[in-house]
Each structure stands twice: as structure tokens, then as C-alpha cells.
Amino acid sequence: GENVEQHPSTLSVQEGDSAVIKCTYSDSASNYFPWYKQELGKRPQLIIDIRSNVGEKKDQRIAVTLNKTAKHFSLHITETQPEDSAVYFCAAPLRGNNDMRFGAGTRLTVKP
Amino acid sequence: EPEVTQTPSHQVTQMGQEVILRCVPISNHLYFYWYRQILGQKVEFLVSFYNNEISEKSEIFDDQFSVERPDGSNFTLKIRSTKLEDSAMYFCASRQQGYLTNEQFFGPGTRLTVL
């Protein structure tokens, strides 16, 4: 099966609302979990990441939570703005840190 | 701020032809990666490269693919005999060495179109 599963595939929110995207992974040895934002026609850009020795990390309106026992991690965006509209990908390493597997992506639309 | 660069930005080729995609990783980075993204789909890992050899490769990276670091700056992906289904965006990425430096920096991508 897929190493990384991501839900939902699409998410539409009103400006100012919060958005949550969830990912699960299969390799219990995974220890690094990045989130990427990809705008149309552009490269993936890292927006936040978390290592397995912490449960939560926050950077202004963006936060990531990690539950190692359940093998899932989530991206939280608060006070969403139209410029947050993009495709968001989670990722987790399959073997060590040199085989990064991406989730299927979530298309986030923030309506003004 | 240093960036990963890739050339060309767009490559059009005929089925069966060989293509070489080029990347210049960030200068002090030691791990290099190639990913592919078919239009509208997820980013797929192809291969990682460290210390002048492949460290991991995915099931996509078959005998048609090869990577090389021909000099101190370039990192190339060669597809020997392109197929229609090789049409995709190919991203190169690099990262520093070290346990605490996992972040991979992506290049702008090369759009490969196989006709």
C-alpha cells in the first residue's frame, strides 16, 4: 500500500477560517515530516516540518502536530487568506531520510 | 539566497529519444534527489544520490534511467529511450549533510514533453 496517505484531496474554506490536512504514514522508523506548498506551475516549497522527538511545532499561522503512536501528522492553518490557496503535500521518509514519499496532495481553496 | 537551478525549463522530445536533464544543486549540499510529477498528480521520488553513488531508488527508476555527477557542480538525470508516459515535470532537490538538516530544497523543474 501507499507509504503516505493524505486527506482530504480538496478543501474549500472561507477566508479567516481554519484548515486542517491529515496524513498517515506506514514506516514506524520515519523521523522527519515536512509539509510543502505548491502553487500552480511552481516548485514545492517547504512551509513547516517536524521531527519525531516533538509533538507540535508552530510558525505564525501554521502548525504541525505529530502522533507517533498512531503514525499520523496534521497541518493546521489558522486565519486562512486567499494567498494560502495552493496544493499542499505532506511527506515522510520510507527508508532513512533519502527516500521521501509524498502524499497525494490537498488542493486548498480559500474563498474571499 | 542560494537556489537549486535546472535546465532546460522545458524539453520536447520524440518517443525513443534520449534526454538529459540538468541540475545544479546548492554548492555546500551533499545529498541530491530527482523527483517526477505527472500533471495534476503527486510528487514521486525517483532516486537519491550521495558520495557519488545512488543511495536509494524507487520502483519507477528502472534501467531506462541513470544519474550522474559529471563534475563538481552538475547533477544529471538521463532517460535512455523516452516513452509517452515519461512526460512530466522533473524536479531536482538537494540538502545538506547532517542529522538535523533534513530540508530538501527544490529546483524550479524541467517540464518534459514526449511526443
* Residue of B104, B110, B111 to mutate, interface with A, max A Cβ within 10 Å: B104
How many CA atoms within 13 Å lie on the side-chain side of B76? 15
Q: How far apart are the CA of B30 and the nearest CA of chain A, in angstroms? A: 12
Give the model's pLDDT for residue B100: 63
d(CA A75, CA A33): 11
Before A34, cis peptide (omega within 30)?
A: no
Q: A1 pLDDT band (50/70/90 cuts)?
A: very low
Lowest mean pLDDT across A79-93, B64-78, B91-105: B91-105
d(CA B88, CA B25): 20
CA distances (Å), origin B56, targets A17, B1, B50, B70: 40, 28, 9, 19
Chain B residues whose beta carbon lies within 8 Å of the beta carbon of residue A25 = none
Angle at B54 between CA B53 and CA B56, to 5 degrees: 150
Within 10 A of A18 (CB to CB), how many other CB atoms are there?
A: 11
Q: Could you tell me if A24 and A72 are in contact, meaning their C-beta atoms sit under 8 angstroms apart? A: yes
Say if A58 is an interface residue toward chain B (CB within 8 Å).
Answer: no
Condensed to tens digits (0 to 9), the pLDDT of residues B71-92 reads 878 999 999 999 999 999 999 9
Say if A102 is an interface residue toward chain B (CB within 8 Å).
Answer: yes
Range B38-49 average pLDDT = 93
Chain B residues whose beta carbon lies within 8 Å of the beta carbon of residue A38 = 43
B42 and A105 within 8 Å at the Cβ level: the answer is yes
d(CA A11, CA A20): 9
Q: Could you tell me if B65 and B58 are in contact, meaning their C-beta atoms sit under 8 angstroms apart? A: no
Give the model's pLDDT for residue B3: 93
* Residue of A100, A101, A107 to mutate, interface with B, max B Cβ within 10 Å: A100
Beta bridge partners of A86: A108
Condensed to tens digits (0 to 9), the pLDDT of residues A40-82 reads 989 999 999 998 888 999 999 999 999 999 999 999 999 999 9
